[in-house]
Amino acid sequence: METDKITYKLENTGDRETSLKKAATDIRSQLQSRFGSEYTITADEFGVFDKDWSHEIKVRKGNKVGAEVGFKWEQAQPDVLVMEVDESSKMGSQLTYGISIVLGAVGAYMAYNDMAPLEFLPGKKIAGGLGGLIGVILGLIIASVLKSILLKNEKEQNAQLVNEVRQIVTR
């Protein structure tokens, strides 16, 4: 799914932290008023305002249907807040992290202990790192295939939710 970047011009109040919090809170309240009855809206804590700042708001219905609004602000462009709306489901995240971490650990263990098919990797520490990397890449491929199979029926509903959230964010 494509992610279009939405730029938002911040109010010139002088305090960037207040402007960023207000913009994120306004978007969250709009999402809450539109989707609050049938969807769960969650947001992470406001992070430290340093050179870069990011924040996420997730709109989810169950484990398979969801959208995520990502906020990104950079000190290089202090008047611009960039937002991205993308598909995000609990099940997809659980599959991705679970499979990738497990296969990464198995790959690192196999390579470190010179087990086939990773016995060709040099050294112990380098082999463990490379074996872990190979396992994580394999895990990401397997997770993406499983996500496309398991979440096939919810694809249309996810696309509709992402479009509705994008419309609210662009107002």
**One-character DSSP codes across 21-71:** HHHHHHHHHHHHHHHTTTSEEEEPPP---SSEEEEEEEEEETTTEEEEEEE
Crossing angle of helices 155-169 and 16-35, in 10° steps, is 130
pTM of the model: 0.78
Q: How many CB atoms lie within 10 A of CB 125?
A: 10
- Whole-number Å distance between alpha carbons of 150 and 3: 22
DSSP state of 135: H
In tens digits, what is the pLDDT along the chain, a chain of 171 residues?
455 788 888 777 677 788 888 888 999 999 999 988 889 999 988 877 778 888 999 999 988 999 999 999 888 888 888 999 999 889 999 999 999 999 999 999 999 999 989 888 888 899 999 999 999 999 999 999 999 999 998 889 999 999 999 998 887
Q: Give the residue among 49, 65, 46, 48 at the shortest CA–CA distance from 57.
A: 46
- Helix, strand, coil percentages in the chain from 3-state DSSP, rounded to 5: 50, 20, 25
CA-derived radius of gyration, the chain: 20
Check residue 73 and give its pLDDT: 87
Four-CA torsion 91, 97, 101, 107, nearest 10 degrees: 80
Complete domains list, the chain, with CATH: 5-89+153-169 (3.30.310), 91-150 (no CATH)
DSSP state of 122: -
